[in-house]
Amino acid sequence: MGKKKQKIVLPPELPPEVPDEDIEVSDEDVQFVNQNLEYAGFVSNLDTHSITKHVNRVADANEGALESMYEKRLKRKLENQGKEENVVEVDPVDALPVKTLDGQLYYRRVVKDTKKPEEELQEGESTGKDSGLVKLTKAEKRAKFKKLRKEAKKQSNEEVQQTPQAEVLDEVKKDLTAEEASEEKKYKLAELGTSLLADPESNIKCIKEMLEISKDGNSAIVILGLKSLLAVFKDIIPGYRIRLPTQKEQEMKVSKAVKKMRFYESTLLSAYKAYVQKLVALQQHTVYKRVAVRCLCTLLAAVPHFNYRESLLFAVVNNISSQDDVIRKLCCTAVKSLFTDEGKHGGEATVEAVKRIAELVKDHNCQLHPDAVEVFMALSFDEDLGKQQKSDLDNKSKSKKSKKRKGMDEPNNMPDNERKKTKKEMLSKAREEVNADFKAASFAQDPQERRRMQTQTLSAVCQTLFRILKHAAQPTSEAGTVPVSSGNHPLLAPCLNGIGKFSHLIDLDFMADLMNCLRRLAGNSSKLGGSSDNSSSHLTVSERLRCCIIAFKVMKNNLDALNVDLQDFFVQFYNLILEYRPGRDQGEVLAEAMKIILCDDRQHDTQRAAAFIKRLATFTLCFGSAESMAALVTVKHLLQKNAKCRNLLENDAGGGNVAGVISKYQPNATDPNLSGALASVLWELNLLMKHYHPAVSTIATSISTMLASTNQICHSHVSPEQAYLDLSKENESLVQSINIKRANNKKRKGKDGVPVKVGSDLNLTDVIDETKVRKQLSEHFVLLRDIQENERLRSELERTTLYVNLYEDYKRQKKRKTKQQLKKCTTDK
């Protein structure tokens, strides 16, 4: 039989293609679709691109494999739809929504974890199953790659450019969280400090937490932490110096109480060390400098006996000459407290502080603030310090001599004496041990130890003062071209005050050099025509007057042991009177010089006294009432003590009736003994009796009425210094009252605007109501402060409104740009 012919099955024919133009939609069709919208909604969601895509079927492909391939594709699509958690919806402000034909709004979405175009292409190429269905040409792949790259770039730009609203909200949230965190830290500091103060031994670990909180970045928290730690340390630091146990002591078995005490002390000491180091480091920051210095000064004054005193002292003394007045005053007060309260530290801190100040003066070449040396005035020494040193040296020399004599008298071979010596040595050792234990247990300081510390302190002080004097006494050729100003030697005035206070404790071997140095500083080569040494040419008149004052004080304090001629200082003071200028120089220094040099219970030569009387009388005609009053008080005192000088008050044949060595008055003489003042007359008193100030005219009248025949005269108890101070204060009050009267007279007007005549005599003794004036001034300054605050708030309000308007403009411009971009996109499509 022949083979059966295979039956060929042809595929069904496709419907004829009808062009879109020939398709006609009737009204019934439109009505049917409108009535059945729920069934026709899938038409809008159809993927026309995938429908019209050309599919190349593989040869000999099984229909079951094709179905499974479509199922896997559907399954993958469902999985991608389930991963909508990674999809983020864009803010409606930035992008407008899209409205579909069925009336729904779709907002733009962005996937968080987007893959790069290269990875997507690789995945598409690696899937062999999809490649069996779709094959892309190279041009299509390149176009797809460009499209994906543009979308990725656009998406990254959108992520980077965040909306201003989100940024503002983030800043507000951060501020709120920061405030809450700072409040929590404040409460935590309070709780930890309270627990430490309540039971320090049990809660000593809390101090480390306080140290950690004080390391915060917020300055307010740091300052609060430093102050809280300061209060805690002041309260819990013991009254002794902590010594940590050695390694052998740690290996020994001890009780629980001892272990607890050791742990407490070691933790406290480590925390205190960290706190001190933090304070020293914070001095370099301007924000924390005052707080850190205040804490250091408080610790040094409160616990100078405790550990790490050297670090505190070093930091405080370094700031003792600071340009900041607050810091300088704090450091000076802390150092003075060390000098006055030596019972807390036994005098050791005083020695360390004085030595450190001496090093500071040396390092800065005597160019520091005067307060750095002024603190020495708070030191106090025993009056018999020098005598005790001499007696100790004498006793030591006597004991050595007696021992030598005993050794010479004793025979060489005496065994009994050797036994006695050994017994005595054993007894002496036992007594020394007992005395040492007694000193350790007793609170009283050993006199010998106190004397030794005071000797070291005095030597350091004298070394510093002599260094300053030596620096000031350098001639201009060595020190350089120094202009005439008081700022060249800022430490000279406190140095001279210190020498005047401690001159009775200075060794007599240095007195000759000290007096020579003071003589050089007070002299003036241009006036005296002496040597080429011009060391005092760069000093002011007030500084040179102080040198003369200190020379007389040193001489008075060491009158028993010092034999020095002060004639040079009288000559220098005689010339300095004419160099004085009110306003430029200090009047109180001149008045003090008059008191110490001319009025302090000293009998002067007649020629010298007459010369000073004549020069001071001439001086009163040229200067103010306060200086004139001090000079006239000195003139009256000299006339009362030197009866022969009262001949200057007479006017017989053109001069005094006492024939001196020099018969003619020489007003230009530089030496008072060569001036011939006894041949002159005090004609200046006639003018001073008509002085504008009543006090000056009164004392001039009382001096002019003194006669040579009067023997009993009432001595005035008012010193030149006191007279100057009283009259200067009175002048200040007079000026204030005159100004107030003038202001009141200007305000008083008549009915027609004509000033009312108050009176020709001004009552200068009216009492001013200080409380009323203070109240008015406070109200005035409060009003000024309110005005300034209102101006500041207005400026801040204008600034904020400007920022808000700018932000609104920016927002409008951004909306316009987004609308324009959307329009462009729709037109491109």
Handedness of CA 130, 135, 138, 141 (dihedral sign): negative
For residue 614, give both structure tokens. 């004549």
SS3 216: coil
The one-character DSSP state at 582 is: B
Hey, how many other C-beta atoms are within 10 angstroms of the C-beta on 241?
12
Residue (of 620, 686, 674, 621) closest to 648 by Cα position: 686
Q: Are strands 109-111 and 98-99 parallel, antiparallel or unpaired?
A: unpaired
98: part of which helix (H) or strand (E)?
strand 98-99
**What rounded mean pLDDT belongs to the chain?**
76
pLDDT digits (tens, 9 = 90+) for 471-522: 888 765 444 433 334 457 889 999 999 998 888 888 877 888 888 898 888 8
Residue 663 CA to residue 679 CA, distance in Å, equals 6
Residue (of 499, 487, 475, 484) closest to 373 by Cα position: 499
pLDDT digits (tens, 9 = 90+) for 544-558: 999 999 988 888 877
Least confidently predicted of 101-105, 112-116, 157-161, 258-262: 112-116
Residue 274 CA to residue 272 CA, distance in Å, equals 5
Helix, strand, coil % in the chain, rounded to nearest 5: 65, 0, 35
pLDDT digits (tens, 9 = 90+) for 774-807: 788 888 888 888 888 888 898 889 989 998 988 8
Q: Are strands 105-106 and 109-111 parallel, antiparallel or unpaired?
A: unpaired
Residue 176 CA to residue 293 CA, distance in Å, equals 33
pLDDT digits (tens, 9 = 90+) for 195-209: 998 888 888 889 999
For the chain, helix (H) and strand (E) counts, in that order, are 33, 4
SS3 89: strand
Residue 709 has pLDDT above 50, yes or no: no
Three-class secondary structure assignment of 396-433? HHHHHHHHHHHHHHCCCCCHHHHHHHHHHHHHHHHHHH
pLDDT digits (tens, 9 = 90+) for 134-189: 556 767 777 777 778 777 767 666 555 555 556 656 666 666 677 788 888 888 88
Hey, how many other C-beta atoms are within 10 angstroms of the C-beta on 250?
10
Of residues 691 and 408, more confidence is placed in 691
Of residues 388 and 284, more confidence is placed in 284
The phi and psi torsions of 569 (rounded to 5 degrees) equal -70, -35
CA angle centred on 552, ends 695 and 634, rounded to 5°: 15
508, 558 contact by CB (below 8 A):
yes
What are the Cα distances from residue 765, in Å, to 733, 747, 772, 774?
Answer: 9, 21, 18, 20
Handedness of CA 803, 804, 807, 812 (dihedral sign): negative
Alpha-helical segments (H) within 621-706? 625-641, 684-688, 694-704
Q: What is the CA radius of gyration of the chain?
A: 51
CA angle centred on 605, ends 601 and 608, rounded to 5°: 105
462, 506 contact by CB (below 8 A):
yes
Mean predicted confidence (pLDDT) in 721-726: 85
Mean predicted confidence (pLDDT) in 591-603: 86
Hey, how many other C-beta atoms are within 10 angstroms of the C-beta on 639?
22
Q: Tell me the residue type at 100.
A: T
pLDDT digits (tens, 9 = 90+) for 315-365: 999 999 999 999 999 999 999 999 998 888 888 899 999 999 999 999 999
Q: Dihedral of the CA atoms 218, 223, 226, 227 (nearest 10)?
A: -140
- The count of residues in the chain is 829
368, 490 contact by CB (below 8 A):
yes
Q: What is the pLDDT of residue 584?
A: 87
The beta strand positions in 738-815, using DSSP E, are: none
761 Ramachandran zone, left/alpha/beta (phi>0; psi -120 to 50): beta
Q: What is the pLDDT of residue 130?
A: 43
Residue 724 CA to residue 591 CA, distance in Å, equals 7
The one-character DSSP state at 584 is: T
Residue (of 560, 577, 451) closest to 524 by Cα position: 577
For residue 106, give both structure tokens. 């779709």
Hey, how many other C-beta atoms are within 10 angstroms of the C-beta on 496?
23
Q: What is the pLDDT of residue 484?
A: 37
The phi and psi torsions of 187 (rounded to 5 degrees) equal -65, -35
Residue 105 has pLDDT above 90, yes or no: no
Residue 722 CA to residue 630 CA, distance in Å, equals 8
> Per-residue confidence at 434, pLDDT binned at 50, 70, 90?
confident
Q: What is the pLDDT of residue 562?
A: 63
**Going by C-beta distance under 8 Å and a sequence separation of 6 or more, which residues neighbour residue 179?**
none
Q: Are strands 105-106 and 87-89 parallel, antiparallel or unpaired?
A: unpaired
111: part of which helix (H) or strand (E)?
strand 109-111
For the chain, the maximum distance between any two Cα atoms, rounded to a whole number of angstroms, is 192
Q: What is the pLDDT of residue 170?
A: 66
611, 619 contact by CB (below 8 A):
no
CA angle centred on 331, ends 300 and 271, rounded to 5°: 35
pLDDT digits (tens, 9 = 90+) for 728-774: 877 666 655 555 665 565 555 444 444 444 333 334 334 456 677 77
SS3 556: helix
Residues 721-757: b if buried by 16+ CB within 10 A, e if exposed: bebbbebbebeeeeeebeeeeeeeeeeeeeeeeeeee
CA angle centred on 793, ends 790 and 797, rounded to 5°: 135
Q: Tell me the residue type at 309.
A: R
134, 55 contact by CB (below 8 A):
yes
Q: What is the pLDDT of residue 294?
A: 94
For residue 7, give both structure tokens. 């039956």
For residue 435, give both structure tokens. 């005395």
87: part of which helix (H) or strand (E)?
strand 87-89
Residue 324 CA to residue 91 CA, distance in Å, equals 56
CA angle centred on 436, ends 430 and 441, rounded to 5°: 130
Residue labelled with tokens 């069904």:
12
Residue 104 has pLDDT above 80, yes or no: no
Q: What is the pLDDT of residue 356?
A: 94
Q: What is the pLDDT of residue 708?
A: 45
577, 675 contact by CB (below 8 A):
no
Hey, how many other C-beta atoms are within 10 angstroms of the C-beta on 243?
10
SS3 466: helix
